Amino acid sequence: MAARSIASLNLSFGLVNIPVKLYSATESSEQVRFNLLAPDGSRVKQQYVHATTGAVVERGQMVKGYEFEADHFVMFTPEELKALDEAASHVIDIVSFVPEKSVDPIFYDRAYFLAPDKRGGKPYALLMEAMRKSGRCALARWTSKGKQYVVQVRAAEDGLVLQQLLYAQEVRSLKDLDIEPVSVSQAELDLALQLIQQIAQDSYDPDAFKDEEKGRVLAAIDKKIAGKEIVASARADDPAPGAQIIDLAEALRASLGLRAAKAGASKPVAAVDPSALKERKPVRRAAKAAEPVAASAPARARK
Q: Which residue has the higher pLDDT, 49 or 248?
A: 49
Please give the DSSP secondary-structure letter assigned to residue 165. E
* Three-class DSSP category at 261: helix
> Which pLDDT band holds residue 156 (cuts at 50, 70, 90)?
very high
pTM, rounded to two decimals = 0.58
The mean per-residue pLDDT over the stretch 255-259 comes to 57
Cα atoms found within 13 Å of the Cα of residue 36, Cβ hemisphere only:
3
| Residue 131: closest CA among 164, 161, 106 | 161
Q: What pLDDT sits at residue 60?
A: 85
C-alpha dist (Å) from residue 176 to 102, 172, 179, 180, 199: 22, 8, 8, 11, 32
pLDDT for 4 beyond 80: yes
CA dihedral for 117, 122, 124, 128, sign (positive or negative): positive
Q: Are 20 and 114 in contact (CB under 8 A)?
A: yes
Q: Bridge-partner residues for 107, per DSSP?
A: none
Q: What pLDDT sits at residue 31?
A: 74
pLDDT tens for each residue of 58-83 = 888 888 888 888 888 888 888 887 77
What sections of the chain are H helices per DSSP?
A: 78-84, 121-134, 186-198, 212-226, 248-262, 274-289, 296-301
Share of the chain above pLDDT 70, in %: 71
pLDDT for 284 beyond 50: no
Q: What pLDDT sits at residue 80?
A: 80
Q: How far is it between the farthest Cα atoms of the chain?
A: 94
Q: Are 154 and 137 in contact (CB under 8 A)?
A: yes
> Which pLDDT band holds residue 262 (cuts at 50, 70, 90)?
low
Which H helix or E strand runs over 98?
Answer: strand 91-99
Q: What pLDDT sits at residue 301?
A: 45
For β-strands 91-99 and 7-13, DSSP reports them as parallel
d(C-alpha 95, C-alpha 138), whole Å: 7
pLDDT tens for each residue of 91-138 = 999 999 999 999 999 999 999 999 999 889 999 999 999 999 999 999
> Domains of the chain (ranges plus CATH)?
7-27+86-168 (2.40.290.10), 214-301 (no CATH)
Q: What pLDDT sits at residue 238?
A: 52
Q: Which residue has the higher pLDDT, 38 or 137?
A: 137
> Which pLDDT band holds residue 52 (cuts at 50, 70, 90)?
confident
